[in-house]
Chains A and B, each alone.
Chain A
């Protein structure tokens, strides 16, 4: 391997990748990534330095500069509004009928910021440190520091927009603590923080649309990226109402198209979340970083049947008062839980992790729930032969605090649970199970949020840099808005200062090529006359991903998954059935394009997981555990970002490694025992 830094690993270790390159044969090693373009100097000063050094586009020239923004969630909506205010000509695209419906709307818990309003010792440094540690030392130090720095401005900005955050009686902002962090830094708007933040960004965006600086294209899906002379210069989008393929060209393209958790089919993501925008860019030269990093959330409502389309998250705060258990004896699995005696219950988290109990981090809680169900001790309805649920029991808390106290704390969650399951959680213990929630992987970006394609920038969940192998609660919203309001608008201007760029015609061969390849894909699906629906393939792909590239991965499982995916993908291209035509609304056609890209992503996720023979964050490698079954990280071997380059159809991807350098924090092992 070409990266000299890796040679420092201990050769006597049985997990030495030099001896154990599980993924050998699946990829080609490439050159290391030498530079992330962060300025020199101490980490505290880098962002100031960069902002000062980034060149400025004169206000009179800005209206001659055009920007394409794909995605209008928290990241894209806030970035487009800010660029519009600055005077650039912005076009935004989203697949929903309105930017207000982006998936960011669903975030419940809150948003972090180092405001130290409680005077409990919070600071930019502490938020920075918590985020690095929470990410299991697999995120990029320089980016995370900047995230913590700008976090405070986000709250100011949102309050000025009229976001109705929770307040105390004195009229000042309230906040709470979240996800095991020891200070109170999470700002919230009841259980609908994402909604209120998104409406703030959406309103700022609509203001610019009204003012004419931003043109919004709703129900438009990006299906191809246009790269001319090595630079991103536009997109091909499908008007999802008329079916027309449109070409939009600009000086710079920004992708803020969200995460790809829907590769698993069942997840807490909105149904339309997809990887197409970023995958199309990947195929055109943008590296895909750490694709296998998936976050699994432990407290979701379990699958009830084979027709389930979506999993619903229940806020993690429930673990503060609920006790998690399964029957000791698998034979009790279908008994009424109230009839299972105390002695016959296994409060497994309290048993295995006496000091953290039910409050262990997300990845540990999730994995142990799966273990219990795999042992046959899961509860709830049997789906495909296995009961996938564990009890989250409030009876003890109700006894101790009284029902009204529980109602006032968790009432809306209990109601939501009752609506979905038809069971009363005040009477019968809730059933929960982990579900795919968020992806930490995404397109590789440098310190400026620029991908490996010049002129292609990536913001929000679509990029990879800030969360490492695990994401702390309430930090995705923070990252989306930090990127959108503050980082990207400052870094992009340095790139745009080189404008005017050469004008591109729609007849340029690169534009024609992009358009024709999008057209060819659509025509293939419409004329295929296969026998199986798109959804049936997606569901099957999702099962493979969940089984072998989900919470626990092993070398054998991943290799098996790659074979299964390749076979299924082949069948998909030959046998998928899309009815109707291309010249109007055709939801099966939309899904077919997305699932086609999920197949390719799924395979790369498995290869990435195979390469990373260590357990870290939400990602547990069976081959890398301590004697008592805990996750074992290998900093000496895997403290790198795996950035994958597309090598062509049917070719092995190329692995570029970016060494993770920690100057301001020291790496340490995690322990929750």
Chain B
């Protein structure tokens, strides 16, 4: 396939960015989107132009590193990660626009690479169970109903990619936040800190510059791991309870 690529280039956080146009040829349908960019980068290096910077690592849809807006959609036209998007989802001769995640809380570092460390800071404010190493009771001491364990697992599969934020017109991270609140809230181990967890994680979320949720639902339709929208209701419910308890 032959493709025309319109790609956001930006030399650094303060630099002015803009779209540049590149042509690539001999793209096979079996390539992933990132392999297609590898081909472009080899071509750029040959032409003495600096290769395009983008984040990626596992290339199997699990680490959450890859993060491209493709034709205005987070991770592109399929509901998957960018590394698992294959070129057979595009037509020969197509023009494709590639941009970085856009959200105030995810500043651009260079080209397509953004800073998502706000997610880590949210987790550091309570996205855990406080248990020191070596102090744990036998794993069978507390049975967990299978339904709870399954539900906890389903929402714990969030890969922290940030597509939900990028897709949200408000730049809210409520789906990400709700996933963690629900994961730990489903398990007996997570109960002791339930109120403080939600209160301080939400405070950090707001402090980082993420927007508020107005129930648009773009987040869940862009989420490659299918985190359901009802984690946001859970988040709100837990927050109300925490406030009622004086947090």
State yes or no: do A and B come from one complex: yes
User: Taking beta carbons and an 8 Å cutoff, which residues of A are in contact with B?
Assistant: 78, 81-82, 85, 96-101, 103, 105-106, 115, 117, 153, 155-162, 164-173, 189-190, 192, 195-196, 199, 202-204, 206-207, 209-210, 216, 218, 241, 270-272, 304-305, 307-310, 312-313, 416, 419-422, 485-486, 489, 533, 535-536, 577, 579-580, 584-585, 587-588
A535 to B129, CA, bound (A): 42
Check B51–A164 contact: CB distance below 8 A: no
* Residue among B31, B84, B132 having the largest count of chain A Cβ atoms under 10 Å: B132
**Contact A106:B63 (CB < 8 A) given known A173-B140, A204-B128, A588-B51:** yes
Chain A residue numbers with a CB within 8 Å of B210 are none
Say how far B165's CB is from chain A's closest CB, in angstroms: 14
Q: Is B115 an interface residue (CB 8 A)?
A: yes
Q: Is B170 an interface residue (CB 8 A)?
A: no
Q: A105-B63, A199-B156, A206-B124 are in contact. List 10 more A-B contacts (CB 8 A).
A: A156-B136, A167-B143, A167-B145, A167-B150, A204-B131, A270-B57, A271-B57, A309-B38, A312-B59, A584-B11
Chain B residue numbers with a CB within 8 Å of A157 are 131, 133-134, 136
Nearest chain A residue, comparing its CB with the CB of B143: A171
Check B63–A167 contact: CB distance below 8 A: no
**Contact A580:B57 (CB < 8 A) given known A195-B62, A585-B113:** no
A600 to B138, CA, bound (A): 46
Check A164–B152 contact: CB distance below 8 A: yes
Check A218–B117 contact: CB distance below 8 A: yes
Check B39–A216 contact: CB distance below 8 A: no
* Residue in A173, A422, A577 whose CB lies within 8 Å of B86: A422
Q: Which of B135-177 contact A (CB under 8 A)?
A: 135-140, 142-146, 149-150, 152-153, 156-157, 159-160
**Contact A310:B60 (CB < 8 A) given known A204-B128, A305-B30:** yes
Q: Is B230 an interface residue (CB 8 A)?
A: no
* Residue in A81, A115, A195, A271 whose CB lies within 8 Å of B157: A195
* Residue in B110, B146, B150, B156 whose CB lies within 8 Å of A585: B110
Nearest chain A residue, comparing its CB with the CB of B161: A101
Chain B residue numbers with a CB within 8 Å of A85 are 132-133
* Residue in A305, A313, A584 whose CB lies within 8 Å of B110: A584
Nearest chain A residue, comparing its CB with the CB of B133: A82
Instruction: Write 21 A-B pairs (CB below 8 A) sorted by A numbering.
Output: A82-B134, A97-B55, A97-B117, A98-B116, A106-B63, A157-B136, A159-B189, A161-B129, A162-B128, A162-B152, A164-B187, A169-B146, A195-B157, A206-B123, A307-B28, A308-B31, A309-B59, A419-B84, A421-B30, A422-B86, A584-B110
Check A192–B38 contact: CB distance below 8 A: no
Q: Is B109 an interface residue (CB 8 A)?
A: yes
Check A170–B45 contact: CB distance below 8 A: no
Say how far B58's CB is from chain A's closest CB, in angstroms: 4
Nearest chain A residue, comparing its CB with the CB of B60: A312
Q: Is B53 an interface residue (CB 8 A)?
A: yes
* Residue in B45, B126, B132 whose CB lies within 8 Å of A588: B45
Check B34–A309 contact: CB distance below 8 A: yes
Check A98–B143 contact: CB distance below 8 A: no
Check B30–A585 contact: CB distance below 8 A: no
Check A307–B139 contact: CB distance below 8 A: no
Chain A residue numbers with a CB within 8 Å of B113 are 585
Nearest chain A residue, comparing its CB with the CB of B46: A533
Say how far A399's CB is from chain B's closest CB, in angstroms: 29
Chain A residue numbers with a CB within 8 Å of B34 are 309
* Residue in B12, B64, B119, B157 whose CB lies within 8 Å of A192: B157
Check A419–B80 contact: CB distance below 8 A: yes
Q: Is B73 an interface residue (CB 8 A)?
A: no
Q: Is B206 an interface residue (CB 8 A)?
A: no
* Residue in A100, A210, A309, A585 whose CB lies within 8 Å of B160: A100
Check A161–B131 contact: CB distance below 8 A: yes
**Contact A101:B51 (CB < 8 A) given known A199-B156, A206-B127:** no
Chain A residue numbers with a CB within 8 Å of B28 are 304-305, 307
Nearest chain B residue, comparing its CB with the CB of A269: B58
Check B35–A106 contact: CB distance below 8 A: no
Chain B residue numbers with a CB within 8 Å of A167 are 143-146, 149-150
Check A196–B60 contact: CB distance below 8 A: no
Chain B residue numbers with a CB within 8 Å of A270 are 57-59, 63
Chain B residue numbers with a CB within 8 Å of A307 are 28, 31, 35, 38-39
Say how far B139's CB is from chain A's closest CB, in angstroms: 4
* Residue in A206, A216, A422 whose CB lies within 8 Å of B29: A422
Say how far B192's CB is from chain A's closest CB, in angstroms: 11
**Contact A162:B149 (CB < 8 A) given known A206-B127, A307-B39, A587-B51:** no
A533 to B152, CA, bound (A): 45
Say how far B88's CB is from chain A's closest CB, in angstroms: 5
* Residue among B46, B58, B115, B142 having the largest count of chain A Cβ atoms under 10 Å: B58
A556 to B86, CA, bound (A): 40
* Residue among B110, B120, B159 having the largest count of chain A Cβ atoms under 10 Å: B120
Chain A residue numbers with a CB within 8 Å of B51 are 579, 587-588
Check B129–A203 contact: CB distance below 8 A: yes
A96 to B88, CA, bound (A): 29
Check A202–B136 contact: CB distance below 8 A: no
Nearest chain B residue, comparing its CB with the CB of A157: B136
Check A305–B57 contact: CB distance below 8 A: no
Chain B residue numbers with a CB within 8 Å of A587 are 51, 53
Q: Is B48 an interface residue (CB 8 A)?
A: yes
**Closest 10 pairs between A and B when the two form their complex, measured CB to CB:** A171-B143, A203-B128, A160-B136, A210-B124, A164-B153, A156-B136, A164-B152, A206-B124, A159-B139, A167-B149
Q: Is B183 an interface residue (CB 8 A)?
A: yes
Check B117–A210 contact: CB distance below 8 A: no
A422 to B186, CA, bound (A): 37
* Residue in A195, A206, A536 whose CB lies within 8 Å of B128: A206
* Residue in A160, A195, A579 whose CB lies within 8 Å of B131: A160
Check B63–A172 contact: CB distance below 8 A: no
**Contact A489:B133 (CB < 8 A) given known A97-B117, A169-B146:** yes
Check A96–B149 contact: CB distance below 8 A: no
A152 to B155, CA, bound (A): 26
Check A271–B59 contact: CB distance below 8 A: yes
Nearest chain B residue, comparing its CB with the CB of A117: B140
* Residue among B32, B39, B86 having the largest count of chain A Cβ atoms under 10 Å: B32
A360 to B166, CA, bound (A): 47
Check A97–B42 contact: CB distance below 8 A: no
A115 to B141, CA, bound (A): 13
Check A97–B128 contact: CB distance below 8 A: no
Say how far A47's CB is from chain B's closest CB, in angstroms: 14
Nearest chain A residue, comparing its CB with the CB of B113: A585
Check B120–A161 contact: CB distance below 8 A: no
Check B53–A535 contact: CB distance below 8 A: no
Say how far B84's CB is from chain A's closest CB, in angstroms: 6
Chain A residue numbers with a CB within 8 Å of B62 are 105-106, 192, 195
Check A305–B88 contact: CB distance below 8 A: no
Chain A residue numbers with a CB within 8 Å of B61 are 416
Q: Is B240 an interface residue (CB 8 A)?
A: no
Chain A residue numbers with a CB within 8 Å of B153 are 164, 166, 189-190, 196
Say how far A671's CB is from chain B's closest CB, in angstroms: 35
Chain A residue numbers with a CB within 8 Å of B80 are 419
Check A486–B110 contact: CB distance below 8 A: no
A202 to B123, CA, bound (A): 9
Q: Is B130 an interface residue (CB 8 A)?
A: yes
* Residue in A81, A170, A203 whose CB lies within 8 Å of B127: A203
A114 to B8, CA, bound (A): 52
Q: Is B6 an interface residue (CB 8 A)?
A: no
**Contact A584:B131 (CB < 8 A) given known A98-B160, A190-B153, A419-B84:** no
**Contact A308:B35 (CB < 8 A) given known A100-B120, A422-B86, A535-B42:** yes
A365 to B113, CA, bound (A): 41
Q: Is B217 an interface residue (CB 8 A)?
A: no
Chain B residue numbers with a CB within 8 Å of A190 are 153
Chain B residue numbers with a CB within 8 Å of A305 are 28, 30-31
Q: Is B16 an interface residue (CB 8 A)?
A: no
Check B133–A579 contact: CB distance below 8 A: no
Nearest chain B residue, comparing its CB with the CB of A240: B109
